[in-house]
Structure 1
Amino acid sequence: MEHSHPKTLLIACGALADETLAVIDEKKWRHLEITCLPAKLHNSPTLIPDAMRQKIRDNKADFDQILALYGDCGTGGLLDNVLREEGVERIPGAHCYEFFAGADVFKHYADAEPGTFYLTDYLARHFDRLIIKDLGIERHPELLPMYFGNYKKVLFLSQTKNAELQAKAKAAAERLSLEYEYRFTGLTGLENFLNKKVG
């Protein structure tokens, strides 16, 4: 008799959409659906908890379970309060850097150089729009040292081995006048969580 999987909705940050779809497609998990909150909410983290609550309530009746592919992402614990109230579990980790790299590896990098600015594939791909334009640096270059003056390096935590993205990440580091480091993470952290919960 074939095992029946619960119909599951993944509510993800828009910055994780491609990676999540890649895992779902590879595993051929037909019982999963994904919906996303806009990645630009990272620039306004106080809006994330209410947006998550609304997304959960809009979909709760149609699914057996809902999982959140989101870190705390600057909400100061408010996102976790919402998820507790709504009975939704999220992937462990304070942010996507931690669950892509793994908690131990991320802690190593964070302890070794607290002044590290992290990039993922998504952030490397959209650096100019999300960082330079949306933070106002394009219009006001004098903001750049205010935002990044205390950083020492850019660490590109890459989910795919993509030379074009590596070039973009390196260019981002140069734009910020920071050292550049690369580490391939793959999608293991995401896969491990989904395997435990829905595999």
Structure 2
Amino acid sequence: MSSSPTARTSTTGSSTSSPSPDRSRIAVIACGAIAQPISEVVERHGWSVDIHPLPPLLHNHPEQIAGEVEPLVVALSGSYDTVAIAYADCGTYGALDEVCNRHGVRRLEGLHCYDVYGGADRMRSMLEQQPGTYVLTDFLVKSFRRTVVQELGLDRYPELRDDYFRHYTRVVWLAQDPDAELQGLAEDAAAVLGLPLTVLDVGLQGLDDSMRDLLAL
């Protein structure tokens, strides 16, 4: 496989228009919530990969993910030798696997991106030990006010917090690239939910390994 010094990220979102033919590269349809760290992994290794992100807020509507991914798979398959899907199951309950089976493509292993970052065994053990765990990634820490507070209407109806989160007991931040600013935002997010914060510094190795497996590199 030829290498490229940088990854190219499509800005067309869920558009089904085909890019210019470039059959020497791999197309990765990525969840918008992990598209940027995937770009970092791809650029670090110089892989010949074009990233086509879908809107990150699809995570709030997992029933729509498969329907957004499939037409993009069809569109990109005419221009790339390989198309891969950088989603785990992500709450689609097998619908994304049906898309993969229909079109002969692969997705990331795991139930969700937390498995990708933290490792499926560690996440399973952590959630078994404390089921009331609310998990954040760097993306969710940065976008918490938009993706959680606004999307759930907590900015307008703060009294709903206890209805949504009464059974949660802690927040765990899977920190990929922690710094003081993100630490503060994570603490603010936990405070909004009224829960204690635990920080796990997971880095990007899990995502790196998962992308290697996905792309068979």
Q: TM-score range by the shorter chain?
A: over 0.9
| Pair 1:22 & 2:60 matched | no
Q: What is the distance in 2 between the residues matched to 1:26 and 1:129?
A: 30
Deviation at 1:45, TM superposition (A): 1.1
Q: Quote the residue 1:190 is aligned against.
A: 207
Q: What is the distance in 2 between the residues matched to 1:195 and 1:118?
A: 24
Unaligned regions of 5+ residues in structure 1, if any?
Answer: none
| Pair 1:142 & 2:142 matched | no
| Pair 1:169 & 2:186 matched | yes
Q: Quote the residue 2:122 is aligned against.
A: 105
**Counterpart amino acid of residue 73 in structure 1:** C
Q: Compare the two structures and name the one with the higher helix fraction.
A: 1
2:113 pairs with one of 96, 99, 123: 96
Q: What is the distance in 1 between the residues matched to 2:110 and 2:210?
A: 11
SS where residue 106 of structure 1 aligns?
helix
Unaligned regions of 5+ residues in structure 2, if any?
Answer: 4-23
Q: How many residues align?
A: 196
Q: Please give the residue correspondences for 1:24-103 in structure 2 after superposition, counting only pairs within 5 Å.
A: 24-29=42-47, 31-103=48-120
SS where residue 62 of structure 1 aligns?
coil
Computed over aligned residues only, the root mean square deviation of the Cα atoms, in angstroms, reads: 1.4
SS where residue 34 of structure 2 aligns?
helix
Q: Per-residue CA shift, 1:36-95, capped at 9, x if unaligned?
A: 110101111111111000111121101111111112111111111111111110111100
Q: What is the distance in 2 between the residues matched to 1:75 and 1:139?
A: 29
Q: Quote the residue 2:26 is aligned against.
A: 8
Q: What is the distance in 1 between the residues matched to 2:129 and 2:104?
A: 36
Q: What is the distance in 1 between the residues matched to 2:163 and 2:178?
A: 32
Deviation at 1:198, TM superposition (A): 4.8
**Counterpart amino acid of residue 139 in structure 2:** Y
SS where residue 28 of structure 2 aligns?
strand
Q: Quote the residue 1:131 is aligned against.
A: 148
Q: Quote the residue 1:159 is aligned against.
A: 176
